[in-house]
Amino acid sequence: MLKAENHSLKMENYNLRSNPICSSCDGSSDKLRLENSRLRQELDLLRSIASLFDSPPSPQDTSFYFSETDNNNVTLISEEEKAAAMDLAVSCVQELEKMCETIEPLWNKKMSVSLNEEEYKKMFQWPPMDDGRFRREASRANEVVLMNSITLVNTFLDADKWSEMFCPIVSRAKTIQIISSGVSGASGSLLLMYAELQGLSPMVPTREGYFLRYAEQKAEESKWMIVDFPIKKASATAATDQYRRKPSGCIIQDIPNGYSQVTWVEHVEVEEKHVLHEVVREYVRSGVAFGAERWLSVLKRQCERMASLMATDITDLGVIPSVDARRNLMRLSQTMVKSFCYGQAFSESTMDAVRVTRTRRKVCGGVVLCAVSTKFLPFSHHQVFDLLRDDHVLSQVANNSPDNEEMMLQETCTDNSGGLVVYSTVDFKAAMNGEDTSSIPILPLGFSIVPVNPPEGISVYSPSCLLTVGIQFLASNVATARLELSNVNDRIFTTLKLITSSLESSGSSAVPKQEISW
């Protein structure tokens, strides 16, 4: 379009030079020159806008974006570009709506929902993807969640709340610039954001990038649309996949009793900088690792957590003295799970190898280190989950003895996208007395279990999963932590051996089931 526009301007300029008389402007050559100059400026603006949204990032931008600087040092969208950004946002939300509401032939229904590439290219006129460098991941899913639409929208428009809600996926998020705060409440809000996404296994590379997020309400239909779309500032470090978000997001429709119907589309382009391990290759390339179903599974379980947190009609509190103490323990449990998930994002692991990395936080003046290892298991993730939450197995893993009994906080959750088992010894007295949970030191140990297709050589009918073990421990500094590394290695390998032997002795894989438990 820009080339055609440029050609048109050249022809117009040529005609003006050869015949400067124009009836529409009374033959004034000055007016013709002014109009021609205005068209040139408009073309230059269009060219800069197209470069902003469609061009791949330049290598020199990479180190700049990932340095820890304030927003004053980050290149922002200028006033001249804001109108074009809003126009693009409206276009992208229309694309999202079509992708959410159109079924076949845009989406192929086989074993799972997948995008029909040819149909997509016919419907939406994006610049062609460099198929030699990038591959497309696209998925769609639907779910009913226990939260109303406006609360969900406010969560998406607050980077801290968003990363808290999706902590198993979003390891870090921040709002770089508020381009528009909305014309009627949140509707019309446009944000420039940055996020790091993780797969909860160090074998799955972290994805990071910049994107624009836009919210629009259709009040007459009682629904909201949240769309993310690409920008030139979307870049990644050389150590990770180059990652571009195509129009992705969700449509949220209010339904009775405080519930919402959420339709989610996840659509990205990824350039892999390194070879994926065969065990996770299909898991990642199929789009399951970062797909719509995983996002919605996390959203559903977190919405149920928040509903449980706000409940007041609890009849059986067990050893917990009050409803307020229960809330405090649930907040502490969320902090524990978030800490465990964030610890996985900065680790890289090969099979049966332990990697130790430093986390972003400090506890009691010391440095928190995270040791992580991933192992492939020829068992269903449901069976592994059931084993890990068994009290007898857990006591062996925790290595407790009758002479050294400790109170432990544990959280477990599972669904078809995977499961988490996270626990830690905590100061229960402080939590029960209502102290600020952020000040209570916590060092979680836990497991992430995700279903994967078996690698070559193993029957495709055999359910399989990836088990990631993560242990966080405290050291006065990174140097002294090396002295403890051998003990940590032994503990992780012993844990993996115990789990494997327990699974093998339990017999065949369990029948898959769908569950969310707290």
Distance CA 12, CA 15 (A): 5
DSSP 74-96: S----HHHHHHHHHHHHHHHHHH
For residue range 384-416, list pLDDT tens digits in order: 999 998 877 777 776 544 555 678 899 999 988
**Domains in the chain and their CATH numbers?**
1-52 (no CATH), 79-310 (3.30.530.20), 339-504 (3.30.530.20)
Give the max Cα distance, the chain: 102
The helix or strand, by DSSP H or E, that contains position 107, with its residue range, turns out to be: strand 107-109
> What's the predicted TM-score (pTM) here?
0.79
Please, which contacts does 10-13 make with residues 24 or more away whose CB atoms are closer than 8 Å?
12/36, 12/39
Q: Which of 67-71, 212-216, 260-264, 315-319 has the lowest mean pLDDT?
A: 67-71
Q: In the 8-state DSSP scheme, what is residue 351?
A: B
pLDDT at site 369: 81
Residue 62 burial (10 A CB sphere; 0-12, 13-18, 19+): middle
Please, which contacts does 254-257 make with residues 24 or more away whose CB atoms are closer than 8 Å?
254/148, 254/149, 254/222, 254/223, 255/144
Confidence of residue 494 (pLDDT cuts 50, 70, 90): confident
Percentage of the chain with pLDDT > 90?
A: 32
pLDDT at site 488: 78
pLDDT at site 280: 86
Asked if 213 contacts 180 with a C-beta cutoff of 8 angstroms, the reply is no
Asked if 384 contacts 449 with a C-beta cutoff of 8 angstroms, the reply is yes
| Model confidence at 234: pLDDT above 90 | no
Confidence of residue 164 (pLDDT cuts 50, 70, 90): very high
Asked if 129 contacts 117 with a C-beta cutoff of 8 angstroms, the reply is no
pLDDT at site 453: 80
| Model confidence at 375: pLDDT above 70 | yes
The average pLDDT across 214-219 equals 92
Distance CA 65, CA 79 (A): 21
| Model confidence at 53: pLDDT above 60 | no
